[in-house]
Chains A and B, each alone.
Chain A
Amino acid sequence: AAAMVMNADLRRERAAATFQPELLTHVLDGGAERTRRRREIEALVVNDPDFQHEDLNFLSRSQRYEQAIRKSSLMVMKLRERGIVDPDEIYMFKSFVHRGHPEPLDLHLGMFLPTLLTQATPEQQDRFFMPAWNLEIIGTYAQTEMGHGTHLRGLETTATYDPATQEFILNSPTVTSIKWWPGGLGKTSNHAIVLAQLYTQGQCKGLHAFVVPIRHLDTHEPLPGITVGDIGPKFGYDEMDNGYLKMDNFRIPRENMLMKYAQVEPDGTYVKPLSDKLTYGTMVFIRSIIVGDSARALSRACTIAIRYSAVRHQSEIKAGEPEPQILDYQTQQYKLFPLLATAYAFHFVGTYIKDTYRRISADIIDGDLSELPELHALTAGLKAFSSWIANSGIEECRMACGGHGYSRCSGLPDIYVTFTPSCTYEGENTVMMLQTARFLIKSYTQVSSGQRVSGMVSYLNDLPRQHIQPQHVAARPVTVLINDPVSLLEAYKARAARLVEAAAKNLQAELNHRKSKEDAWNMTSVDLVRASDAHCHYVTVKLFTAKLSEISNAAVRAVMTDLCLLYALYGISKNTGDFLQAGILTNTQINQVNQRVKELLAIIRPNAVALVDSFDFSDHCLGSVLGRYDGNVYENMFEWAKKSPLNKTEVHESFHKHLKPMQAKL
């Protein structure tokens, strides 16, 4: 099968592209050198026989867990052998080893070790960090409980200090307080950093982190007082042993509380930490990764759906002619190309947040946290905005592949179930949108009281000036040019400003009617989410537009300009109500927008395959029979199916057990 020639349709598509995909790949990676290094790392993994295994689709959950553990163990060793230490490169290596899936050591590497680094005292570093670094200790991070997730203050686990023995007594006092969901907790870890309400001298001091041994270092059996296990099957995440943890009067020494900031002294005296803003930093970082994940997951789905749509022929457009590629149907283009544009947009947004975070990280270390609140607010919203859209986009790609998209061989079900939890973890999306809204309302209030605001919300500064204009809003001269991304950006600004203002006014109206701020906020929250959504949409258009001028190759810039226009115009055509209601666009312009969207579909069509090739996913990483680079879909579907577990024997055992006896009896 490896020697098969490329499918003729795909060959034609690639020959017809107006630009070189390789150059666009460099833009996405951030330079030719980085593309080279990424491929080098992928080759290290792909060519390593230790990382090969049977198709995961045919394995049971236990088998998938076992494979993941095997690969993770080897991965840690090989990373060190090869001296790969750059966090980006480690992340890449890990993604190639696990082909985009989570793995049981994720929490050890991503949370346990970093938390020790940032919150442990030097003495604790000696005691825990080096053994953990050498994997004598495998840890996880146990925060979420069965009854509490996003709302941290509600956590119920307790750690009560006993000065007599200088120990903390850990308890899970209710069913809802059982730690639930932490990755790697179920079967893998022997330690956990547990978040619990600290009680000392009879007073609750709020949430603090404790290092808790949970399994015996030799036998791996749970320690007395610890009940630990796997939470059972989920929607995806088969590799991950998300676990539960129940503690009954489990004692740990006083020195196991992470005490770099807050402390409990031997007599039980509590010493407060200096600042709590620092935790923002980690959250910004992790959420920026989710924006990047949204881009990658959607790019993979688009690659599969667009290549397959170029290979699949169906029905007829014109009677008597051969069946056309389904990519030639306008409805198919309308499903896929806006998603393709979105994937690119999110890629640039993800890069922007990561770069901005890096830039201000230095300031943070110097104690300057001034830029952090805005970035924090923006990242919360963009995490929600991008993951929601990518989530539904992946599903649209799958459905655009018809029945075969539903087969696991398409890879699309797997991309979906792996990605979709990101709408919930690291902050539930609606809650995230409301955090951004809080910042927007605060900025709006500042503007209303005569102050100026800066950064991404600076468009709010224009609002008071607009209100001085005497004419009715709808009568304002309309100057939006629908072929100019910069002009469209103005329309997005106006929409965001209008929705922020509307939410702020409704909030005020509720405040005038009701007693509490909290009720008013709740009664306005649908408006607030809409405002955040419009703000994030504006930011995305802005960052996409800004990227265009950075692209040096003219052919690449031309095709990216088409995509950027499609992204902006499609967004308008999907939200015409907002633009019409605010009088930003007229009916005639909406008509033009809709028309232009369809023209752009036809303009992008010849470059569609090249645009997904530019994402540069290897077949190995894509894991899809429908999305194969060579387009030999049907032959390989058949080969794949033959390996299915149900086909292990020619006659399935249930024939002898059930069907045959039935035929005999009836």
Chain B
Amino acid sequence: GVNPDLAGERLAASFSVELLTASLDGSAERTRSRRAIVEAIESDPVFSQENQYFQSQNERYEAAVKRAVYLQKKIREMGWTENSPEIQHIHRCLSGDIALVLHRIFKRSISVLGSDKQIDKWIPLASDYQIIGSYAQTELGHGTYLQGLETTAVFDAATQEFILNTPKISAMKWWPGDMGRSATHTVVFAQLYVHGKCYGVHPFILQIRSLQDHSPCPGVTVGDIGPKMSFQHTDNGFLQLQNVRVPRENMLSKFCEVQPDGTYVRWGSQKINYFTMTSVRISVLADEVILPLMKACTIAIRYSAVRRQSKLKPGEQEAKILDYQTQQQKLLPQLATAYAFHFINIYLHELFNRGYQEIQGKNFDSLPELHAFSSGFKALVTQHGTSGVEICLRACGGHGYSLLSGLPSLYTRIIASCIYEGENTVLLLQTARFLIKCFVAASAGQPIPPSVTYLSSVKPGKCPAKDKVDFLSPEIYLKAYEQMAIRLISSSAAKLQHLIQSGVAKYEAWNQCTVQLEKAAKAHCHYITVKNFVETVQKLDNKAGIQKIMKHLCDLFALHGIFSNTGDFLYDGYLTAAHIDLVTASYLDLLAVIRKDAVPLVDAFDFTDKSLNSALGCYDGQVYQRLYEWAQKSPTNQQGNPAYGKYLKPLLQNTLSKL
């Protein structure tokens, strides 16, 4: 049965959980189809993740390969297609714990960067898994800065081949997923040299392992880069190349080609490719960042409704820890953030779909804006998502540290997202560059993209709020965010200009302003996130209490942002010290309001117990029983204790010196 503490929480819900779930999925129909897929996958024991916390790196890797192979079988049996919604649901319920993920990136890069002839040759082989692909870009010495890559591809006109080399240790490819043990082929990025001239980084298809016995090809040294903080199931690899030759036809040549005589020809626009890289940043957010944050909230909030600790009032039963204000202050803002990010993700996808259509029509005007958005939001969402998961972990006391809580694995995985697909600081500075450009344009009266038009509305002023309830009005807090973002952007722009005018070289002036610029970019993205939350709530159906609870969450998200950054809001006097006291009061009131719906709000995320894989977060709240039973399955309890015979026994019986 369900723990009465949790059952009671659910009875008190102010809104319909089922309708909110449907709203999050997009429609009741999509909820139904998602659940059907999840059921089909979870009922198959091959996909069970129950033992993963007990497994070694080798075991995790093998299980992930096995799952990937079974999944291909299942996809064929069920008649699902490659990019259908079903596949998205599958990845959601497998939590990414599967091998051969890079195989998709391998195929996508061939489809995007390859000529028709190359596509015809390679894609069918890859689709039938006659070959297994990876994507080798990052090197030991270079990551985010692509121009710095050191791998070389030298054209040899005599044999019509490229000679690939990793000329020094830092040039070795390092990190590519699926490459350490699984892949037979990879797309290698290398500096192209023809007749001694360097043409920059280009992609080449390279076979790295024998298709017969899987041994490395001549000249290829390949292996696993060793244990990481997470991703034990993935064989991130290294790759050293010594005079490895590939035919001329293996350079991916949709946009450029080396002709037989060594002439380098470039055609078409690479901008579409640029768009693809940009959209990958957005595509990781849902599965790799927002879902883990939602899961962490689900686990921590359900557990906080079950766990009792100390007494709030003498003589009463010990209180649920969720009733402590400090616990609410830890968890409820993360819950609001999870919803805010879910909505901003929808917004970004719409933005990108529109952008994609424009680009199809050869209109590249929106590219800089899309690029700035993808960079800034990738950084904001991954950073807040990561800290949110960690807060949830630490809010679960000692049990949060048990792997069986599910939280450590969520955490160690989500933190990787702050680095991959572009390091966050670097990305925020790209957003800042765009914002400064727009600000300068707006100041000169030139047109700027619609998402940043607020930059031209800079008017000093004072917040009109008089009472704490005024801060529950979106116009009031949105204006405060807008002012704050404009102020941070304009002051960075002024500082930059000042430095340049006083004779500091441009690049040095930029480096001297980067701390401010990074902050300005964050402020912009934060503002847009709040604004989008407000607009989403306005559009929601006012049915079954959903709009009302979402409005509370939106207010909480906004006020928590002010409460946590009071200095930025006070700085130019738009908010006064008295306003901050009102914000704080309103914010603390909201915690108590949302507290009542906290459990239903995480129930609405609709995770199955299997996908949560957590003793603390299960739907029925039978936390302690589960923890106890699961721990007994640990290998430390199932296998003998060799340390006893070898070391403890001699220690206990004082015969240690005979060892």
Contact = CB atoms under 8 A, between A and B. Distances in A.
Given A330-B512, A408-B228, A587 B573 contact: yes
A323 B148 contact: yes
A641 B226 contact: yes
A244 B639 CA distance: 16
B97 interface: no
Interface residues of A, number: 134
B364 interface: no
A424 B141 CA distance: 37
B505 A402 contact: no
B141 A220 contact: no
A490 interface: no
Interface string B115-142: 0000000000000111010000010111
A383 to B, nearest CB: 14
Contacts of B32: none
B643 A66 contact: yes
A232 B61 contact: no
Contacts of A313: 141, 148
B462 to A, nearest CB: 14
A647 B138 CA distance: 20
A128 interface: no
A6 interface: no
A237 B318 CA distance: 30
A581 interface: yes
Contact of A581 (B138, B181, B326, B570): B570
Given A232-B631, A658-B65, 19 more contacts: A57-B227, A61-B636, A65-B643, A73-B656, A144-B398, A146-B628, A149-B309, A229-B636, A234-B401, A313-B148, A331-B514, A403-B420, A522-B323, A635-B169, A641-B238, A647-B224, A650-B216, A658-B66, A659-B69
Contact of B313 (A149, A516, A590, A653): A516
B657 interface: yes
16 contacts: A144-B398, A187-B644, A314-B148, A423-B394, A430-B327, A526-B325, A580-B566, A582-B577, A587-B573, A598-B512, A637-B140, A638-B140, A644-B224, A645-B56, A646-B180, A659-B65
Interface stretch (A174-182, A438-446, A536-544, A555-563): A174-182
Residue among A217, A407, A434, A654 with the highest chain B CB neighbour number at 10 A: A654
Interface in B536-583: 565-573, 577, 580
Contact of A634 (B169, B408, B565): B169
Contact of A647 (B223, B400, B642): B223
A331 B584 CA distance: 31
Contacts of B515: 330-331, 334, 598
A570 B390 CA distance: 24
A652 B169 contact: no
Interface of B: 53-54, 56-58, 61-62, 65-66, 69, 72-73, 128-130, 132, 138, 140-145, 148, 169-170, 172, 174-175, 180-182, 213-216, 223-229, 235, 238, 307-314, 318, 323-327, 329-330, 390, 393-394, 397-404, 407-408, 411-412, 415-416, 418-420, 423-426, 429, 505, 507-508, 511-516, 518, 565-573, 577, 580, 584, 588, 624-625, 627-628, 630-637, 639, 641-644, 646-654, 656-657
Given A233-B403, A522-B325, A69 B647 contact: yes
B648 A229 contact: no
B152 to A, nearest CB: 17
A15 interface: no
Contacts of B323: 522
A235 B403 contact: yes
Given A57-B227, A330-B511, A529-B326, A234 B569 contact: no
Contact of A149 (B132, B397, B571, B637): B397
A6 B326 CA distance: 50
A187 B651 contact: no
A512 to B, nearest CB: 15
A406 B394 contact: no
Contact of A654 (B61, B142, B420, B508): B61
B643 A581 contact: no
A236 B412 CA distance: 11
A261 interface: no
A616 interface: no
A235 B72 contact: no
Secondary structure at the A interface, as helix, strand, loop or mixed, is helix
A633 to B, nearest CB: 9
A60 B515 CA distance: 42
B567 A577 contact: yes
Contacts of B145: 314-316, 323
B292 to A, nearest CB: 15
A544 to B, nearest CB: 22
Contacts of B225: 407, 637, 641, 644
A642 B53 CA distance: 25
A40 interface: no
A277 interface: no
Given A408-B226, A587-B573, A659-B132, A73 B647 contact: yes
A663 B68 CA distance: 12
A42 interface: no
Interface string A67-110: 00110011011000000000000000000000000000000000
A229 B647 contact: no
A299 to B, nearest CB: 20
Contact of A134 (B223, B312, B425, B654): B654
Given A330-B515, A395-B415, A474-B577, A644 B223 contact: yes
Contacts of A144: 398
Interface string A423-465: 1110011100010000000000000000000000000000000
B646 A66 contact: yes
Most buried by A among B130, B324, B584, B651: B651
Interface in A491-533: 516, 518-519, 522-527, 529
Across the A-B interface, the 7 shortest Cβ-Cβ residue pairs: A577-B566, A576-B567, A235-B408, A646-B224, A644-B226, A230-B636, A577-B567
Nearest to B411: A235
A399 interface: yes
Contacts of B416: 406
A417 to B, nearest CB: 8
A232 B402 contact: yes
Nearest to A67: B643
Contacts of A309: none
Contact of A402 (B69, B143, B216, B398): B143
Contact of A318 (B144, B508, B567): B508
A154 interface: yes
A314 B54 contact: no
B397 A147 contact: no
A184 to B, nearest CB: 11
Contacts of A635: 169
